[in-house]
């Protein structure tokens, strides 16, 4: 069956779901598929498979409404999307085959028996039916996820596009030939949902080959591909944590089999992977989803978090957390210029879409989000499971995970955030395993920002909330602003003087960050930006006083630019020495406004 035919079948199934809509009057469903509960506990196992999860909207861990804030309209949006659910790569598939052969060999020997949640294994076999055709490609669930996203965003932003106009999206090529790239396949399925019957006529995918030209250095959707200094190494952090729980899980699981069959640690750590992949490949909950109990699911998911956090995310060593700063600097600058910007294409000028879509892979999303000013500097522990935590990859690096910027145009009368949003563990649905000590209960901050306390049934914790020092600026009129810079964990009172106002303000308690402090402005008709992960608003640290805890776009642009400047030269921190790689400026995202670059291929429609 051709890709085009499969896409049209998926199109007819796109709304076949019982999930609730994203808001009261939307027809677009919030979720693409159902998430059945497992048989070994109360949790939904497909929510705890880490990066192997099918797409689902994350929990509202900051209690910020997803709906557009009162008094605001969305004038532009930029989305980065992971490819949709897929078939396994050959290396991972070999793990499936190894487990199948181990089971079959044991069944051929006397004394074999499997009970409990493993009673299914005598009849189990791998679910791929044609490895040559299927390996590494988008699955039917992946096509549905991407198609549904196209429909969802077309209805969420109805004024961004009118039928009959050309529309393009961008995708990391990732694989050769291009038509076998699951990232490109996701982009094509998105076009089917966004443009429906007109996708082949008016839609295009701009495929970005990150290694095709020296000009692609730092200017792609996968900048690590041309960064020799980049490493994806979580070191012993994952292993150290797994040593705290895997031995007990292994003992429990092996107690359900007898005869010449003994699973090892590598085997059982593969069970949740097979749970996620088999379920979305077949469209039915895999029996492997019932093997891990709730405690083991939570530990496995946290192990996945550690792998990304220390491998390619905020806790990584090397340049990983810097790689997307040139991209962020350029895309935020483009958003600063407003709608209707003109780009250069092979056939002449084009208008940059108000909805800018980029498709990439999981590790790139980990690198991107680590540079956005979202996650604080508190490292994830590796010797115990901490309970609910902010850096949870199942909330943004799922299959078809989304990282979005929404640019808000807000009236002066739009209600502003009265306080900073804080992470709330009560909305995640995940509790600490019985073997750990968790602090639960309400969290309150004192009025002067000097401390925070958390009390609950399991313990008490007291700590310092980050504060900021500032300097005074005297503007000539309104709106006034000041920029405060200094060290975290100190408290200062800042006086702002203007020709028509005088006020004394005490800095609100905020999470500590790299030292950058954002400007505070008087009320005006301003443009704001907010960040959305899997349909959940994530506030920017120290910049969330706008409507819906958004940040002034100009302030965020200044912050990203400063971070990019402070990171230094891309060729230096990546140790780039290849001939032809000498670039005085790394653009980061020039492909959004120049589709004539020699490392781009434009694919018309969904062919």
pLDDT recorded at residue 524: 52
- In this chain, the answer to whether the domains covering 31-60+87-136+233-311 and 77-86+139-156+167-232+312-376+390-404+526-607 adopt an identical fold is yes
The distance of Cα 350 from the centroid of its chain, to the nearest Å, equals 29
Which fold, 77-86+139-156+167-232+312-376+390-404+526-607?
Rossmann fold (3.40.50)
pLDDT recorded at residue 235: 80
Contacts for 432-439: CB closer than 8 Å, 24+ residues apart? 432/298, 432/385, 432/386, 432/387, 433/245, 433/294, 433/295, 433/298, 433/299, 433/385, 434/295, 435/245, 435/295, 435/385, 436/384, 436/385, 436/386, 436/387, 438/386, 438/387, 439/387
**Where are the domains positioned within the chain?**
31-60+87-136+233-311, 77-86+139-156+167-232+312-376+390-404+526-607, 421-466, 467-508
Token pair recorded at residue 582: 């000498």
- The residues of the chain scoring below 70 in pLDDT are 1-24, 425-524, 579-584, 607
Instruction: Please state, in angstroms and rounded to a whole number, the distance separating the CA atoms of residues 270 and 70.
Output: 46
Q: Kind of pairing, strands 526-533 and 551-552?
A: antiparallel
pLDDT recorded at residue 581: 63
CATH classification of 31-60+87-136+233-311, choosing from 3.40.50.150, 3.10.20.30, 3.30.43.10, 3.40.50.1240? 3.40.50.1240
pLDDT recorded at residue 306: 98
Contact 399, 145 (CB under 8 A): yes
pLDDT recorded at residue 234: 84
Continuous segment of H or E residues that includes residue 132: helix 131-134
The conformation of residue 173, written as its DSSP 8-state character, comes to: -
pLDDT recorded at residue 377: 79
């Amino acid at each position: 069956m051709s890709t085009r035919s499969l896409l049209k079948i998926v199109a007819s199934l796109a709304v076949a779901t019982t999930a609730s809509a994203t808001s009261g009057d939307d027809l677009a469903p919030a979720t693409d598929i159902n998430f059945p509960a497992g048989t070994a506990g109360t949790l939904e196992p497909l929510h705890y498979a880490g990066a192997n999860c099918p797409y689902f909207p994350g929990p509202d861990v900051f209690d910020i409404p997803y709906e557009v804030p009162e008094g605001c309209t969305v004038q532009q949006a930029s989305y980065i999307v992971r490819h949709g659910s897929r078939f396994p790569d050959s290396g991972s598939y070999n793990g499936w085959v190894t487990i199948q052969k181990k089971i079959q060999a044991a069944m051929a020997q006397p004394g074999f028996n499997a009970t409990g949640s493993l009673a299914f294994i005598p009849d189990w076999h791998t679910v791929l039916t044609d490895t040559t055709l299927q390996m590494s490609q988008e699955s039917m669930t992946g096509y549905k996820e991407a198609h549904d996203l196209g429909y969802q965003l077309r209805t969420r932003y109805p004024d961004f596009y009118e039928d009959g106009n050309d529309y393009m999206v961008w995708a990391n090529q990732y694989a050769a030939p291009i038509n076998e790239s699951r990232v490109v396949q996701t982009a094509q399925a998105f076009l089917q949902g966004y443009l429906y019957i007109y996708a082949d006529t008016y839609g295009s995918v701009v495929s970005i080959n990150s290694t095709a030209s020296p000009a692609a250095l730092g200017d792609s959707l996968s900048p690590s591909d041309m960064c020799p200094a980049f490493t994806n190494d979580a070191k012993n952090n994952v292993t150290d944590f797994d040593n705290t729980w895997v031995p007990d899980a292994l003992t429990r699981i092996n107690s359900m089999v007898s005869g010449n069959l003994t699973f090892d640690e590598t085997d059982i750590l593969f069970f949740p992977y097979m749970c996620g992949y088999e379920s979305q490949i077949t469209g039915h909950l895999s029996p492997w989803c019932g093997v891990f109990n709730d405690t083991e699911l939570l530990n496995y998911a946290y192990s996945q978090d550690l792998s990304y956090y220390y491998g390619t995310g905020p806790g990584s060593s090397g340049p990983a957390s810097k790689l997307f700063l040139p991209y962020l600097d350029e895309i935020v600058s483009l958003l600063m210029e407003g709608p209707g910007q003109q780009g250069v294409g092979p056939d002449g000028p084009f208008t940059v879409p108000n909805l800018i879509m980029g498709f990439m892979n999981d590790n790139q999303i980990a690198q991107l989000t680590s540079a956005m000013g979202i996650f604080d500097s508190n490292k994830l522990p590796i010797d115990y499971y901490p309970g609910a935590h902010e850096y949870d990859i199942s909330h943004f690096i799922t299959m078809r995970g989304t990282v979005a910027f929404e640019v808000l145009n807000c009236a002066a009368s739009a209600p502003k955030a009265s306080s900073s949003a804080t992470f709330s563990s009560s909305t995640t649905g995940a509790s600490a395993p019985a073997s750990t000590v968790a602090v639960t209960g309400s969290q309150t901050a004192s009025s002067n920002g000097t401390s925070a306390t958390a009390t609950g049934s399991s313990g008490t914790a007291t700590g310092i909330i980050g504060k900021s020092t500032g300097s005074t600026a005297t503007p000539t009129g309104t709106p006034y602003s000041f920029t405060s810079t200094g060290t975290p964990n100190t408290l200062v009172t800042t006086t702002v003087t203007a020709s028509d106002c005088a006020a004394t303000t005490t800095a609100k308690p905020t999470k500590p960050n790299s030292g950058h402090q954002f400007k505070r402005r008087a009320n005006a008709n301003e443009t704001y930006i907010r960040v959305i992960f899997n349909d959940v608003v994530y506030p920017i640290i120290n910049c969330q006083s706008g409507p819906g805890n958004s940040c002034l776009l100009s302030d965020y642009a200044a912050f990203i630019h400063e971070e990019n400047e402070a990171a230094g030269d891309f060729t230096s921190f990546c140790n780039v020495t290849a001939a032809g790689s000498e670039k005085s400026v790394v653009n980061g995202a020039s492909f959004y406004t120049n589709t004539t670059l020699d490392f781009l291929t434009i694919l018309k429609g969904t062919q």
